[in-house]
């Protein structure tokens, strides 16, 4: 997404943006169609500041993107991890994520969605990934085991 810095009217947001270092920055926003263009109506630099009422549709959009979109899967994994960290990904949501096209075709991305506590619950997560890659067991078993380890 591109927007011109001068279009940001909220001084607090502008100050936060000025403090950021160059690199990847995630901006969460809502937009509205105006004529043939989309206009950003609200934006947040941190997902925890997005109003809770917007999260369900946002989750649906992320899961849809994991199935049909063009967004880099690692960027989507980062957002899933952020949603989990603020308590907005439940067991059923994570099942949909794990069974999405992009994750099924590249299961190693799951590691990017897990925090240190999650990873410590596995005896050896890399071995876990190798077993699925080498087809030592079915993906459905592998994904349900991840769900059980993380959510039980």
Question: Please, are residues 83 and 59 in contact by the beta-carbon 8 Å criterion?
Answer: yes
Q: What is the pLDDT of residues 7-35, one digit of tens each?
A: 677 788 777 777 766 655 677 778 888 88
Residue numbers in the chain where pLDDT is lower than 50: 1-2
Question: Please, are residues 65 and 97 in contact by the beta-carbon 8 Å criterion?
Answer: no
How much is the pLDDT for 32? 82
Domain definitions of the chain by residue range? 1-45, 51-151
Rounded CA-CA distance 106/85 in Å is 22
Report pTM: 0.79
Rounded CA-CA distance 99/3 in Å is 34
How much is the pLDDT for 82? 94
How much is the pLDDT for 132? 76
């Amino acid at each position: 997404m591109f927007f011109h810095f001068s279009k940001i009217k909220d001084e607090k947001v502008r100050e936060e943006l000025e403090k950021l270092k160059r690199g990847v920055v995630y901006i969460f926003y809502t937009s509205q169609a105006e004529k043939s263009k989309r206009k950003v109506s609200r934006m947040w630099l941190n997902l925890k500041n997005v109003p809770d009422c917007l999260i369900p549709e946002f989750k649906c959009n992320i899961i849809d993107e994991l199935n049909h979109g063009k967004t880099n899967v690692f960027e989507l994994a980062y957002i899933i991890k952020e949603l989990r960290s603020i308590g907005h990904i439940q067991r059923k949501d994570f099942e949909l994520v794990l069974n999405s096209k992009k994750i099924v075709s590249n299961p190693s991305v799951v590691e990017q969605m897990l925090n240190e506590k999650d990873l410590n619950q596995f005896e050896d997560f890399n071995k876990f990934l190798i077993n699925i890659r080498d087809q030592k067991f079915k993906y459905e078993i592998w994904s349900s085991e991840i769900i059980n380890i993380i959510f039980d």
